[in-house]
Amino acid sequence: MVISLSRVLISDEVDPKCVDILQSHGVEVVTNTKLSKNELIAEIPKYDGLIVRSATKVTAEVINAGKNLKIIGRAGTGVDNIDCQVATERGIIVMNTPGGNTLSAAEHTCALIISLTRDLARAAQSMKEERWDRKAFMGIELNGKTLAIIGLGRIGREVALRMQSFGMKTIGYDPIIGAEVAAEFNTEWLPLENLWPLADFITVHTPLIPATTNLINDDVFAKCKRGMCVINCARGGIIDEAALLRALESGQCGGAGLDVFVEEPPKDYSLAKHPKVTATPHLGASTREAQSRVAVEIAEQFIDLVQGKQLFGAVNAPALSNALSPESQPWVRLGENLGVLGSLLARDSVASMHLTTIGTSLDKAGSYLSAAMLAGYLRSTRSGDADAPLNLINAPVLAKQAGLTVKMSTQSQVSTTASISVIFTTAGGQSVQLAGSVAGEAVTKNGASVIGLSLSQAVNASVCGIINLSSALANGLEALKTIVSSSNQAVL
């Protein structure tokens, strides 16, 4: 799958290095950070690429209006402001720059923890008001206290390492990162129920997903030590804001450091204004270093993708990662053509496909080959929304929605000429088996795949031939049958 980009819209404040890199590769870039929702919807059809931070809400409406959109880039980490599901269904790549702002977010988290222990924000404000009030600001030491880290990914572990230098004991929970990995950064992995009562501070570093929404709620506050403090430099909504306000009021929660809010900017500032809260306006990634990194990274990732060099940072295109190299292009075409052929030969709608890759060179090709096959199959069978392209990004999702199941197997034989074999089984139980390979420079140069066919019940024949698949498909099934039955091992 080849992706070309001609015009990119940047709709949030992104370091100018991003524009420079894209322009130096011939991409036209328009920066407009003042677009209202409706203006963005009106503007987006002109672009094939969009780059945002957290401010632009890339909703289904925006994505559906983006008739030419191929890629949405997030100069940062969280993609919760982008409707990734709709983007995927429309075959649009969503890409972020994981890691570019990790250290800045970790440092900001540490700053919030430290600020809380000494009430720095209010103490500094009192000095600006010319009040020398030493009695009002009795703090606590971090040394010997326990910090619970929920989410032991990139930021969580950097926070752990930094706060350990203050003498804090770090404990943590993550459903994917286990105890052994946590121990590598001196953090004791504990199940949540065991962790709540031990923590003096709890900091969250997870994405906002259903499992983490309101993760810290009234019940959790009740299980914590009285006076424990919470920090949220991840996403608004991981800590239930109403429950936090109640816990601050009752004294169950001793303080909160908040960088993120359910609504940004918040309509209701009662949490931010609360005397026990140190709040910042989503500044975790707002450092020169982080902004420079994410701007360069997103631009370079776009260019690498367009040049077919590599796919980095895509959050919704697992099939694409091995499909960009020039060597894989004929295989992608073969897969698509086999999908089309399967749909032509199967008399009923296909309920399942079983793809087998043969040969070690195709060991990692199963996911893009099956996606290519599904794209070809769906392209040839679908009616309706012809607007949305069918490609390696959306074909697996749309096939799943249509109830089509896909099985993949690998036969890793070193000496074998690489080939693929697929069995299409219809809802009525008929099956069509096709086998194909990409052979020879001369054939692949003019874009045609060579395919060895073995047709079973669906055409009630058992023939084997080699045909120029592209021209056969262009002439339709009847022509194909004629070609197959009249040719034996001939390239047409």
Ligand X SMILES: NC(=O)C1=CN([C@@H]2O[C@H](COP(=O)(O)OP(=O)(O)OC[C@H]3O[C@@H](n4cnc5c(N)ncnc54)[C@H](O)[C@@H]3O)[C@@H](O)[C@H]2O)C=CC1
Is the CB of 286 or the CB of 456 nearer to ligand HPV?
A: 286
Distance CA(334)–CA(336), nearest Å, equals 5
Interface with ligand HPV includes 156 (CB under 6 A)? no
Return the residue nearest ligand X (CB atom): 153
State the chain's maximal CA–CA distance in angstroms: 99
Using the contact rule CB under 6 A, the part of the chain among 113-121, 229-237, 294-302, 353-361 near ligand X is: 229-237
Burial letters 269-283, b for 16+ CB under 10 A, else e = eebbebebbbbbebe
Interface with ligand HPV includes 293 (CB under 6 A)? no
**Under DSSP, is residue 391 helix (H, G, I), strand (E, B) or coil?**
coil
**Under DSSP, is residue 353 helix (H, G, I), strand (E, B) or coil?**
strand
What amino acid occupies position 52?
V
Using the contact rule CB under 6 A, the part of the chain among 71-79, 198-206, 299-307, 342-350 near ligand HPV is: 71-79
Interface with ligand X includes 300 (CB under 6 A)? no
Residues 6+ apart with CB under 8 A from 68: 45, 46, 47, 48
Work out how close the CB of 81 gets to ligand HPV at its nearest, in angstroms, rounded to a whole number. Answer: 8
State both tokens at 134.
């030493």
Select from ligand HPV, ligand X, none the partner in contact with residue 295, using the beta carbon and a kind-dependent cut-off of 5 to 8 Å. none
Select from ligand X, ligand HPV, none the partner in contact with residue 469, using the beta carbon and a kind-dependent cut-off of 5 to 8 Å. none
Pairing of strands 464-468, 450-454: antiparallel
Interface with ligand HPV includes 104 (CB under 6 A)? no
Work out how close the CB of 80 gets to ligand HPV at its nearest, in angstroms, rounded to a whole number. Answer: 8
Residues 6+ apart with CB under 8 A from 168: 142, 143, 144, 145, 146, 147, 201
Residues 6+ apart with CB under 8 A from 144: 167, 168, 169
Work out how close the CB of 26 gets to ligand X at its nearest, in angstroms, rounded to a whole number. Answer: 31
Give the active site residues: 235, 264, 282
Interface with ligand HPV includes 78 (CB under 6 A)? yes
Work out how close the CB of 287 gets to ligand X at its nearest, in angstroms, rounded to a whole number. Answer: 10
287 secondary structure, DSSP code: S
Is the CB of 73 or the CB of 284 nearer to ligand X?
A: 284
Is the CB of 213 or the CB of 250 nearer to ligand X?
A: 213
Select from ligand X, ligand HPV, none the partner in contact with residue 53, using the beta carbon and a kind-dependent cut-off of 5 to 8 Å. ligand HPV
Residue positions counted in the chain: 492
Residues of this chain, 124-153, that bind ligand X according to CB under 6 A: 150-153
Q: Count residues contacting ligand X (CB under 6 A)?
A: 31
Pairing of strands 431-436, 419-426: antiparallel
State both tokens at 296.
């360069």
> Which residue from 25, 57, 122, 154 is in contact with ligand X, where contact means CB under 6 A?
154
Distance CA(233)–CA(235), nearest Å, equals 6
Interface with ligand HPV includes 90 (CB under 6 A)? no
Return the residue nearest ligand HPV (CB atom): 76
Pairing of strands 201-204, 146-150: parallel
> Which residue from 11, 56, 77, 328 is in contact with ligand X, where contact means CB under 6 A?
77
Q: Count residues contacting ligand HPV (CB under 6 A)?
A: 10
Residues that bind ligand X (CB under 6 A): 77-78, 98, 101-102, 105, 150-156, 173-177, 205-207, 211-212, 233-235, 259-260, 282, 284-285
